[in-house]
Amino acid sequence: MDTTTIVVFILSSMAVIFAVFARGDHESLGASYIFGDSLVDAGNNNYLSTLSKANIRPNGIDFTASGGQPTGRYTNGRTIGDIVGEELGQPNYAQPFLAPNTTGRVILNGVNYASGGGGIMNGTGRIFVNRLSMDIQIDYFNITRKQIDDLLGKAKAREHIMKASIFSITIGANDFLNNYLLPVISTGVRISESPEGFIDDMINNLRSQLTKTINKLTQNECVGLANELAQRYNGRLRDLLTELNENLHGATFLLGNVYDLVLELITNYAKHDSERGLLWQWRAVPGDHTVRANVDHLRRSTKHVFWDPYHPSEAANLVIAKYLIDGDTKYISPMNIRQLRDL
Ligand SMILES: *[C@@H]1O[C@H](CO)[C@@H](O)[C@H](O)[C@H]1NC(C)=O
Ligand SMILES: *[C@@H]1O[C@H](CO)[C@@H](O)[C@H](O)[C@H]1NC(C)=O
Ligand SMILES: *[C@@H]1O[C@H](CO)[C@@H](O)[C@H](O)[C@H]1NC(C)=O
């Protein structure tokens, strides 16, 4: 049985969508195709002229694969996308689409299209000058899709995509933080557009983006208003997924609620400490680079929920990924990722 599964996660004031494309047998995961923003960017912005860059120390200090060197990930270690792939058996991390060496059979491990500052809306992240918006990421996936066909032949390529790959989409936060809520740039839009109207636009864009992506696959070829927006958006997202579940046959959509999960981590970090030895404190690492360069401080900080004011630490990403893979319906419904894989 070929099924497409979309998992939607909502993170704090950010809205996160996670799409898993899964199947009915127990083969381990071969590839992970990752779309999104800085929560899951693995280095695309290194190759853009942009004000949103993460390939600077101390980012990556706990990332084993790079020996602690920055990679373009906006955190100290692995992202949620890295961890979920790893847990499901992906042999290598998905490589950034824009990296010049992401060519040939490397793409069969997956490709990462995510870009810090990117959003569902084309205008989102203009403040950073350059970023890959969701529409562009989907266009890039179309290129990868063709390359997989060329590498494996159409029939095998389809099998690879349908049976051994997961797809995740982690996006939405910037549409609020770096678009709608941005005072200067979005003033015009905000005057002419209500929060409801803006969310309508986001949902409509996302509907067409998800539909386009799925069709491509199957056809073969923090803050008061921010939180309120996120919550309203999350409600609409739930409706959208129900609608897509009914209309896009061959696809199954899961909804993950990272919004509640992060709240849980923030309010009950001590509980997660005693249970897992992961998080003993909630404190953002100060933005000051001299402070951040202090390794002792950073070592302690790796146990904080947040790595910087916007991005979860690897420790938090591990807890989040764990709940998404094995958690109960409070966090991911109607089933978790592992149950889906083992269907
Ligand atoms: C591509 O090059 C980067 C930077 O030199 C390196 O870190 C990465 O491991 C390479 N990726 C592959 C798949 O060889
Ligand atoms: C966004 O930009 C992309 C690439 O320039 C374009 O293909 C797409 O139609 C645009 N989407 C909207 C909603 O304007
Ligand atoms: C996707 O790529 C194919 C070639 O592989 C091309 O014919 C098609 O127009 C592209 N679609 C989009 C929406 O870019």
Per-residue pLDDT tens over the stretch 62-117: 899 999 999 999 988 999 889 988 988 888 999 999 999 999 999 999 999 999 98
- Name residue, tokens 């200067």: 184
Instruction: Give the ligand whose atoms come closest to the C-alpha of residue 215.
Output: 3
45 C-alpha vs ligand 1 centroid, how far in Å?
15
List the one residue out of 182, 218, 234, 199 whose CA is nearest residue 13.
234
Residue 108 CA, ligand 1 centroid: distance in Å = 15
Q: Which residue lies with its CA nearest to atom 10 of ligand 3?
A: 142
Task: Give residue 122 CA to ligand 2 midpoint distance, Å.
Answer: 6
Residue nearest to atom 14 of ligand 3 (CA): 139
Residue of the nearest CA to atom 8 in ligand 1? 101
The separation between CA 184 and the C-alpha centre of its own chain, rounded to angstroms, equals: 27
Q: Is 150 in the pocket of ligand 3 (CB under 6 A)?
A: no
Q: Could you list the mean pLDDT of each consecutive 10-residue stretch along the chain, which spans 343 residues? A: 37 41 56 88 94 86 92 92 88 95 94 92 83 91 92 88 79 76 56 74 81 65 57 78 74 71 70 46 38 43 68 83 87 81 74
Q: Give the separation between CA 278 and CA 280, rounded to whole angstroms.
A: 7
Strand partners, 254: 7
Among left, alpha and beta (phi > 0; psi -120 to 50; other), residue 10 is beta
Mutate which of 135, 140, 142 for ligand 3? The one with the most ligand atoms within 8 Å of its CB, which is 142
Cα–ligand 1 centroid distance for 95 (angstroms): 8
Catalytic residue check, 149? no
**Is 32 an annotated catalytic residue?**
no
DSSP 2: B
Residues with C-beta less than 6 Å from any ligand 1 atom: 95, 99, 101, 106
Distance from C-alpha of 198 to C-alpha of 202, rounded to nearest angstrom? 6
38 is catalytic: yes
Check 12, 13, 38, 301 and give the catalytic one.
38
Q: Which atom of ligand 1 is nearest to the CA of 102?
A: 13
Give the number of the atom of ligand 3 that is nearest the alpha carbon of residue 142: 1
- pLDDT value at position 310? 72
At residue 165, φ and ψ (nearest 5 deg) are: -130, 150
Nearest ligand, CA 135: 2
What's the CA-to-centroid distance between 63 and ligand 3, angstroms? 36
CA distance 5 to 326: 16
Q: Do residues 94 and 32 touch, judged by C-beta distance below 8 A?
A: yes
| Ligand at shortest distance from the CA of 144 | 3
Sequential DSSP letters for 137-194: HHHHHHHHHHHHHHHH-HHHHHHHHHHSEEEEEE--HHHIIIIIT-HHHHHHHHHH--
Q: Which one of 71, 101, 102, 106 would you pick to mutate in the ligand 1 pocket, going by the greatest count of ligand atoms within 8 A of its CB?
A: 101
